[in-house]
């Protein structure tokens, strides 16, 4: 019999720096897929427009793509929410197009993954529980609304660095979710791929009583979708059940 490992889709991720990258092997195990993650250089670790624009610059992404090219992936996602949406819709599109051209596979970004996930769930009104400073979170709101997602509430933690976000544990993540939900929202969005969430996806949804989309969850599902694997998975929140 053929080795089952060879039949699994191989998903590529370009992840800036180090924070919550351990969510990806966890998600690979939970979904029965393979994840190839390359850390990209980041310059300054800061949730500011200037630092994030540099972090998501095409030279940094394409440098990472050269490493990923050797691994034969079926799709690739630029695994940063803020370092894609700060460049606006057109800037995020340029990132995806550059990666698609470089690797000759379907490509996207985490910012687009949120819009794709909201459409997949059929939701229109979102609350946002962001780790970012408010000015950055408002740029996410703008990006979502361009994508057809109405934002009814934006909550922020004001954390400057991805490194600090990566230290938030289960209780802090649950508190961030519950404290920033809105009763009129159909879904709660939790941006920032530096935020751990994979181990607690079902628990977060139970706590707020509605679908929740987190950055690493949306990124992973987007990579699977682009690779042609859109099968239902259990234990990974509402997004994987549709």
User: Are the C-beta atoms of residues 116 and 146 closer than 8 Å to each other?
Assistant: no
- What CATH number has the domain spanning 4-111+217-241? 3.40.50.12500
- Class of the 113-214 domain? alpha beta
pLDDT of 76-122, one tens digit each?
Answer: 999 999 999 999 999 999 999 999 999 999 999 999 999 999 999 99
List of residues 6+ apart from 196 with CB closer than 8 A:
20, 22, 23, 166, 168, 169, 173, 216
pLDDT of 141-166, one tens digit each?
Answer: 999 999 999 999 999 999 999 999 99
User: Are the C-beta atoms of residues 43 and 57 closer than 8 Å to each other?
Assistant: no
- Mean residue pLDDT of the chain comes to 96
Q: Rounded mean pLDDT of 182-204? A: 98
For residue 2, pLDDT over 60 is answered with no
Q: Which pLDDT does position 5 carry in this prediction?
A: 62
Residue 178 to residue 182: CA distance in whole angstroms: 9
pLDDT of 39-81, one tens digit each?
Answer: 999 999 999 999 999 999 999 999 999 999 999 999 999 999 9
Q: Which pLDDT does position 4 carry in this prediction?
A: 58
Comma-separated ranges of CATH 3.40.50.12500 domains in the chain: 4-111+217-241, 113-214
């Amino acid at each position: 019999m053929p080795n089952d490992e060879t039949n699994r889709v191989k998903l590529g991720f370009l992840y800036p720096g180090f924070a919550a990258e351990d969510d990806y092997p966890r998600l690979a195990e939970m979904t029965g897929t393979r994840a190839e993650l390359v850390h990209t250089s980041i310059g300054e670790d800061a949730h500011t427009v200037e630092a994030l624009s540099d972090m998501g610059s095409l030279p940094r992404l394409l440098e990472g793509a050269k490493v990923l090219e050797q691994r034969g992936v079926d799709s690739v996602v630029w695994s940063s929410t803020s370092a894609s949406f700060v460049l606006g819709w057109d800037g995020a599109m340029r990132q995806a197009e550059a990666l698609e051209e470089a690797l000759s596979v379907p490509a996207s970004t985490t910012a687009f993954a949120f819009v794709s996930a909201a459409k997949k769930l059929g939701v229109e009104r979102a609350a946002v529980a962001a780790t970012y400073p408010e000015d950055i979170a408002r740029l996410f709101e703008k990006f979502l609304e361009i994508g057809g997602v109405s934002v009814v509430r934006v909550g922020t933690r004001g954390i400057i660095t991805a490194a600090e976000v990566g230290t938030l544990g289960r209780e802090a993540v649950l508190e961030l979710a519950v404290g920033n939900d809105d009763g009129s929202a159909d879904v709660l969005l939790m941006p920032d791929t530096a935020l751990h969430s994979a181990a607690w996806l079902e628990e977060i949804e139970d706590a707020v009583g509605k679908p929740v989309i987190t950055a690493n969850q949306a990124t992973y599902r987007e990579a699977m979708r682009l690779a042609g694997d859109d099968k239902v998975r259990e234990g990974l929140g509402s997004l994987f059940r549709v």
